[in-house]
Structure 1
């Protein structure tokens, strides 16, 4: 089932400008980035994009607020991001809702040169 939005986390070496070049190829040209507080926002093609540097420690959040992306879910997007940007990517294994409890909140998928693996990533304070 297609997720209503996509959120992945990219290791610190990547900037929103690196992501912009990739998104422009896949989704369409990006509008000018606008800074709002700690986040950067643009639209790539028809998809609203939010970039939050250092959202979790050294990890940057990329949020695509649309179900109109070429990716079915976070994991397929994370694989595409790793292939395009050659940087470790993390994402949730599926849609997570608070009712699932805190234990599931720490389950993440890691995509790197080692392939795909499930990890425990404590993102809370």
Structure 2
């Protein structure tokens, strides 16, 4: 089932490399707008406009990449994480499936790690 949006976390990621990768895969990005610590742009893709949010160091060394659309090439966070790792070569973390506020904290700490070591489910306490 396709997720309504995509969010992945990238370790020590280079903002310019991510912008280049997304532009090549999805289409050109508008000028970045800084709002506090957050950066936003709109990607003009063949499927329509995709709002993108980049939050550097959202969790320690981990930056958040949030694509607010179900019109990406990826059906879920894990598919995007795999593509990001293949393109960028940095460790990626994502939720194992859709997530909602109603889930327990125990479930919220379950993550998938995508790295040179492969994929594995981990416990990651982000708060």
Unmatched 5+ stretches in structure 2: none
TM-score normalized by the length of structure 1: 0.96
Alignment of 1:69-108 (within 5 A): 69-108=72-111
Question: By how many angstroms is 1:111 displaced?
Answer: 0.1
Alignment of 1:57-72 (within 5 A): 57-72=60-75
Map Cα deviations across residues 70-125 of structure 1 (whole Å, 9 max, x no partner). 0000000000000000000000001111222110010000000011100000001x
Alignment of 1:14-29 (within 5 A): 14-29=13-28
Q: 2:113 aligns with which of 110, 113, 116?
A: 110
TM-score normalized by the length of structure 2: 0.94
Q: What is the CA–CA distance in structure 2 between the aligned matches of 1:74 and 1:30, rounded to whole Å?
A: 20
* Runs of 4+ with deviation above 4 angstroms: none
Unmatched 5+ stretches in structure 1: none
How many residues matched? 123
Structure 1 match to 2:7: 7
Q: What is the CA–CA distance in structure 2 between the aligned matches of 1:122 and 1:69, rounded to whole Å?
A: 28
RMSD (Å) for aligned C-alpha atoms: 0.7
